[in-house]
Structure 1
């Protein structure tokens, strides 16, 4: 890299079109030095850096599908003038466009989202995503008072009368999903087809005086051999917005116990017995890591395995463990007992 090279975020124009560009120090044995996006498109183009004299040379790459792979779609040659960057962009066919960039002070960008630790971390560590997502998110006219992130279309429910901490936690979960959608778009590049990308369906499944629970179902195809999907269970404190573990509700519901109860109730429709064997062999009952996505419903705790290999994903059936069935595993003096078993 040229001696003047420094990490930072810049905004300006390329051929008269507004762009935002980030430079960062490359990792060892890696020449990736940042990315940029056009305001009109808002999809990152990866930049690989080198030096030619005092000029910084940035080759932009875009994924063009499995047949063509990564393609160099342009090359920027930039020099520093004061604190600004100027130069040209050149297409593979030889077309040249002027580039003019000035540094952006991220700390001075007003927050349009709730001020949470995750938003501040996003601004510091992934400024391009921050600048795309730090916008006004409109409310939708639905029963759950959902909010839509306008760039990715990710929708997430809200809770009426939520504490500031809970409102921030719900926003953060939506923010993480929107980041996943942006990353997926960048990976697809020019190869995106109809139905490709990242989608999320989220709904509130249970509200108690102290808890809110949600179920998230994500589906995505970001390139590669097959599309994929996953489920997430969310249980949050309505006061602190912090995640509440299943074992805080039922101390006796260890991973091994979840597996035993799940297998006893599976399959609910008398399905393929091979799935039961596969689930049992794929599980790690001794592990302290969660083996199931779990969320509260009016009938009980719904669980679905998260440890199955992709080829066995069809075996991941949701099973609901009833509150009565789980009561012996709870503690009557526990913080949330009265929420789950009101008198």
Structure 2
């Protein structure tokens, strides 16, 4: 019995210690300055005795990983984290009143040495989502789950922003918008320039910038690859040919459509088409079940683990056939209309009603992606939840 009690106490201590370790905050410090005469941005991230770093030249915006070999000493290998990879240079730094200074010592070719002068421009404390065991997992804690999170990261927000080329202003439902193109990668996006209520602009543009940053991240990753490691290495991987458009705007909702075909290696390209409605009050993707009676409340699941639909939603779906006046798909692609397709519709809102689409399907089913039904708002009377009044006037 004493052994069982000791074992239980020990296990509890291990669990508590592990949980505490997972909650240890890390500090991300960002510096701007020069290596030689070339402008750079460098970040150093520390958690306890773990340190990781990376930097980019402002001219190229290609991320260069660094491995810590001392408190302020780092090794640069050819876009590689393994110790066996060729050593390109060493970064030896020391603290100054305004940041850091030191030298970049070349370890390959002519072994050129360059002076380094860095000024501290930002610092952020964060808690990694998962337990950190080494510098590699510490770095993974810098990844972000939502598009807009990169905007709050002082390093990523600089890496993904090389300046924008602006297109002509166009109008959509009383809103003015323009296409913007990232100068380093050629990735295009869209931003709002005017709105009936100017308070809409900051949050809407924050969402749109975040979505563009995701595409820029993909393009930079492809550009950093070598031709030897990927046939698409050194290119933007098709991310510069993707499209982002706003298909619906209101005072509280914005629907964004993204599509394209990207490839940075692998068996097949990534063909995608998706449409998402965002809540401009919360800055989050709108869950249609918040405003429509789609699923049972309290939540229930069927024998397969799927959420139980409401009778109202089942009645509406029963009307969704190619013979319905709401059908807007292509009847020539019969396999896309099969009842056993294996993929459900995604929902979004437009100026005409509730849109049922097939999005982000596997490569072999790419031809099936797109709109299939647009149910007018007048046909949704039985489905509205009380919260819908927040977004749809006249209910």
Aligned to 2:375, which of 286, 305, 322?
322
From the CA coordinates, give the structure whose radius of gyration is larger: 2
Q: Structure 2 length normalisation: TM-score?
A: 0.62
Query: Which ranges in structure 1 are unaligned for 5 or more consecutive residues?
Result: 1-5, 64-69, 108-117, 284-290
Note if 1:156 corresponds to 2:190.
yes
Superposition pairs of residues 1-343 of structure 1, within 5 angstroms: 7-25=28-46, 33-51=52-70, 56-62=73-79, 72=86, 74-82=88-96, 83-106=99-122, 122=150, 126-132=153-159, 139-144=166-171, 145-151=177-183, 152=185, 153-158=187-192, 160-188=194-222, 189=224, 190=226, 191-193=233-235, 196-208=238-250, 211-236=253-278, 243-252=285-294, 257=313, 260=317, 264-265=321-322, 268-273=330-335, 276=338, 279=341, 281-283=342-344, 292-298=346-352, 300-306=353-359, 308-323=361-376, 326-331=379-384, 335-336=388-389, 339=392
Using a 3 Å threshold, how does the CA distance of structure 1 residues 185 and 201 change in structure 2: closer, same or farther? closer
**For 1:158-187, what per-residue CA distance to the aligned partner results, in whole angstroms no more than 9, with x for missing partners?**
274253552123212222223223322332
Q: Structure 1 residue 338: deviation in Å?
A: 9.6
**For 1:44-72, what per-residue CA distance to the aligned partner results, in whole angstroms no more than 9, with x for missing partners?**
11222324xx7613223338xxxxxx964
**For 1:99-150, what per-residue CA distance to the aligned partner results, in whole angstroms no more than 9, with x for missing partners?**
313232227xxxxxxxxxx9995465x3222224568756532323215154
Using a 3 Å threshold, how does the CA distance of structure 1 residues 242 and 183 change in structure 2: closer, same or farther? closer
**3-state SS in 1 of match to 2:79:** strand
What is the root-mean-square deviation of aligned Cα atoms in Å?
A: 4.2
Q: Structure 1 length normalisation: TM-score?
A: 0.70
Measured in 2, the distance between the counterparts of 1:88 and 1:136 equals 27
Residues 75 and 87 in structure 2, CA contact (< 8 A), matched pair in contact too: no
Query: Which ranges in structure 2 are unaligned for 5 or more consecutive residues?
Result: 1-26, 124-145, 172-176, 227-232, 297-306
Residues 206 and 212 in structure 1, CA contact (< 8 A), matched pair in contact too: yes
**3-state SS in 2 of match to 1:312:** helix
Q: Structure 1 residue 86: deviation in Å?
A: 0.7
Measured in 2, the distance between the counterparts of 1:163 and 1:27 equals 47
Using a 3 Å threshold, how does the CA distance of structure 1 residues 7 and 307 change in structure 2: closer, same or farther? closer
